[in-house]
């Protein structure tokens, strides 16, 4: 199915669900287009004040579909306005909550970082493991993560590619609220309800000022630098080896070239 969009105007919220459980909710062209269209619908509907982004458990999202990337179709995982998954670069007025129930790795963590708030079940896992496949994280994680958690810890995540439990992510400030297994969406709905009791325009303006005044580094420049290093990594022999090893289900053999 790709993406399910469930608006609940009576509750002033809408839920976007990545629905590719057979592919660990990895982002392909259908998912990217579906998320962008859902965000467009949320932004256009004055009855919807909060969006929730989630994935079919037990995975939030494994990030980009490596099979598509290995075939040279990386551009299909992006949209012109939204960037990766039609979401990470999408300008919007309304707050989004990530409801993470399971693995949120690579682009999955970057999708969570693109949301304003994160609710995660205790069994969830975060990480940006792209370096393990000779890839550079290209969906905002390398500059957004250090804004959400201590810089030295963000650097550890980026360089080791290791995965970290939701409890640790909560300790660091990446996760706003922990929920029991299978309850992340329920907890996200409860958090949305705490937001929607407030005046929607005031919420939108508060969100805007928080982003603009807290992160004064020019984001366009950050994206340009991000594109440059992703492009450089994609031209290496190790990039091809990482994709091949993934498809062949074996450990990669790095050449350093």
Give the catalytic positions in this structure.
Answer: 110, 130
Asked if residue 58 has a cis previous peptide bond (ω within 30° of 0), the answer is yes
Is 204 in contact with 94 (CB distance < 8 Å)? yes
The residue among 107, 122, 9, 117 whose CA lies nearest residue 53 is: 117
Q: What are the φ and ψ backbone dihedral angles of 201, each rounded to 5 degrees?
A: -70, -40
- In DSSP notation, 109-125 reads HHHHHHSSEEEEETT-E
The residue among 22, 95, 96 whose CA lies nearest residue 62 is: 22
Helix or strand (DSSP H, E) at 185:
helix 184-196
Task: Give the integer Cα–Cα distance in Å for 35 and 87.
Answer: 7
Task: Give the integer Cα–Cα distance in Å for 77 and 85.
Answer: 6
Look-up of token digits 């290995």: 70
Is 217 in contact with 201 (CB distance < 8 Å)? no
Task: Give the integer Cα–Cα distance in Å for 2 and 117.
Answer: 23
Burial 116-150 (b: 16+ CB within 10 A, else e): bbbbbbebbbbbbbbebbbbbbbbbbbbbbbebbe
């Amino acid at each position: 199915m790709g993406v399910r969009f469930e608006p609940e105007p009576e509750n002033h919220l809408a839920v976007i669900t990545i629905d590719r459980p057979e592919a660990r909710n990895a982002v392909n062209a259908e998912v990217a287009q579906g998320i962008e269209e859902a965000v467009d619908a949320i932004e256009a509907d004055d009855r919807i004040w909060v969006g929730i982004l989630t994935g079919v458990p037990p995975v939030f999202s494994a990030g980009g579909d490596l099979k598509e990337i290995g075939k040279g179709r990386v551009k299909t995982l992006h949209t012109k306005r939204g960037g990766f998954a039609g979401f990470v670069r999408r300008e919007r007025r309304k707050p989004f909550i990530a409801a993470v129930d399971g693995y949120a790795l690579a682009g999955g963590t970057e999708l969570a970082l693109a949301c304003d708030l994160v609710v995660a079940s205790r069994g969830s896992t975060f990480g940006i493991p792209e370096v393990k496949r000779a890839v550079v994280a290209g969906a905002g994680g390398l500059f957004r993560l250090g804004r959400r958690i201590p810089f030295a810890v963000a650097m550890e995540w980026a360089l080791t590619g290791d995965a970290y439990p939701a409890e640790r992510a909560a300790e660091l400030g990446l996760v706003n609220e922990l929920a029991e297994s299978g309850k992340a969406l329920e907890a996200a709905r409860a958090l949305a309800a705490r937001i929607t009791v407030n005046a929607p325009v005031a919420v939108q303006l508060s969100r805007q000022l928080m982003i603009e005044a807290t992160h004064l580094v020019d984001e366009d420049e950050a994206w340009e630098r991000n594109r440059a290093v992703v492009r450089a990594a994609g031209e290496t022999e190790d990039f091809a080896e990482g994709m091949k090893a993934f498809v062949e289900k074996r450990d990669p053999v790095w050449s350093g070239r």
